[in-house]
Structure 1
């Protein structure tokens, strides 16, 4: 009964529109995660992929837990730690770890195209719980995906079979972890849940790093250290927690809308920071992504 009441409250709040907090969370996942493409590129100068991602999430998660312990806040229970480990292993270990491995042999265009399929995968998995996206929401997902495919047309579509398998597994693991955190494996309330998930997923990534024999360049380049610190604070502490909060309080399609916006943000940063040239076709593709977002937010899907 309590779960039904909370779901009803969630539905009514979603129909009423997004609160300022949720709008800020959307901005974080759209803009900050869009900028992490560039930050990861700089951090890779000194920090290998699994080590880079595992250490950033471990530092972020442990920092939050230490702050909560200092304030005397409640810590996750044993059962909640188990949930956090499973969800963290899927979303961070399988999801981000798979992307990190794939990026060694898969072109960036294909990586972005695969990640843009995540909202459809989440929608399909949600059908197992009897939850279906509305027509406008589904149309927004399809139009947004088309815009991303247009944006990445012909850009870096070289790949190895192992890289393709890794990115496919990464998208499936991220989608499954996102759905399970909503439906079957609830985390501890608030920051404790997000922090425990980052610690669990970060630990899995560090094990993967050790198995691959990764080691950082020493001394690391200052630019790599600055990029790693940016990923800890903005990519993990802010944007990842914002995504988990969106999953808890909005539809999965809204929460995963970052997959459409991030390539556009990365494109704009390439123009501003790296002086890249954007063609008229790429601007058209960005406009198609915008249309998909308008459809996605025009009428929220009903909750069950």
Structure 2
């Protein structure tokens, strides 16, 4: 069972007959908005320090969501157990932390290339499941090996991209995979929105603290913040985190997991197209080949994992 499946099965009252138009509306929100967050990050880090910007993003999300959820679901939202708080803090370090690493990396790595490297997340999840002793089909293992071949192909510095920035993107993908793998196995708040709110708040605070320790305060010049960067930050808060995640959480309850998972190989295509269109990011033959290999291998993994297993 994948981490995505585990999250879906953990949610109570999953509907089986949501109208197709609602499912496809939510899917396209996740496709386009999550794919566009790489462009928004690139805009944000033009004049806003990456760790402080990413920390602000997730702290804001937590502070927006928690009061709304408390109003709708009761004051218990503010009283997670110690185990739930520790678990949310760990996942917050992994998931929002991964976004923060991407924010730093995109100072040198083109947004489309960053999205491609991060698209390897499902491959890392399969590897973690195998290491943990779970049985994985040979088809999935083969797809993972091919996908990592495409990953190696993309780890070739070109233009402003540095090997450190490229490896940071790979590290961020691994962090996200660890957080996704751990989520159904630890004591997170049962409500996915409450869980995400605490993950965002705690992870954002940790990222913001790293920015302070790393000396980013000296790079804060409010008068120099461009309209593009401010727009990027606001877009990440409102559309990237609040709108897209709400749609994603709803999909987990109302759509087949195989259909929900398709975001993993649509997002990088959207990111590459937007990077080329708005940031004049070049698309080399190597990038195209690597994209086809990684996206194809992720598609094979998702299809293989979605097939019913013989009992």
- The answer to whether the superposition gives a TM-score over 0.5 is yes
Q: Could you say which residue in structure 2 is the equivalent of 1:3?
A: none
What does the per-residue CA deviation read over 1:88-120, in whole Å, with 9 as the maximum and x for residues that have no partner?
012222x22332333345565764453232211
Q: Could you say which residue in structure 1 is the equivalent of 2:194?
A: 192
Q: Could you say which residue in structure 2 is the equivalent of 1:27?
A: 28
Q: Could you say which residue in structure 2 is the equivalent of 1:41?
A: 42
TM-aligned CA distance change 1:99 to 1:276, over 3 Å: closer
Alignment match of 1:234 (pick from 234, 239, 243)? 239
Give, in whole Å, the separation in 2 of the partners of 1:276 and 1:257: 25
Alignment match of 2:102 (pick from 94, 99, 102)? 99
Q: Could you say which residue in structure 1 is the equivalent of 2:270?
A: 265
Aligned positions of 1:1-304 closer than 5 A: 10=9, 26-73=27-74, 74-75=76-77, 76-93=80-97, 95-106=98-109, 111-127=114-130, 131-132=134-135, 156=158, 162-163=164-165, 166-215=168-217, 216-219=220-223, 220-242=225-247, 257-274=262-279, 289=295, 293=299, 296-297=302-303, 300-302=306-308
What does the per-residue CA deviation read over 1:249-282, in whole Å, with 9 as the maximum and x for residues that have no partner?
9999876654432221122224544567768997
- Answer yes or no: is the 8 Å Cα contact 2:123–2:147 preserved in 1: no
Aligned Cα root-mean-square deviation (Å): 4.4
Quote the offset at 1:55 in angstroms. Answer: 0.6
What does the per-residue CA deviation read over 1:27-48, in whole Å, with 9 as the maximum and x for residues that have no partner?
3443212111211121123311
Give, in whole Å, the separation in 2 of the partners of 1:158 and 1:226: 24
SS of residue matched to 1:235: helix
Runs of 5+ consecutive residues of structure 2 not aligned to the other structure = none
TM-aligned CA distance change 1:112 to 1:147, over 3 Å: same
Deviates more, 1:201-210 or 1:287-296: 287-296
SS of residue matched to 2:306: coil
Quote the offset at 1:81 in angstroms. Answer: 1.6
What does the per-residue CA deviation read over 1:64-92, in whole Å, with 9 as the maximum and x for residues that have no partner?
10112233523133321221101101222
TM-aligned CA distance change 1:162 to 1:284, over 3 Å: closer
Quote the offset at 1:190 in angstroms. Answer: 2.9
Give, in whole Å, the separation in 2 of the partners of 1:132 and 1:258: 25
Taking structure 2 as the reference length, what is the TM-score of the superposition?
0.72
Give, in whole Å, the separation in 1 of the partners of 2:109 and 2:246: 28
TM-aligned CA distance change 1:295 to 1:206, over 3 Å: closer
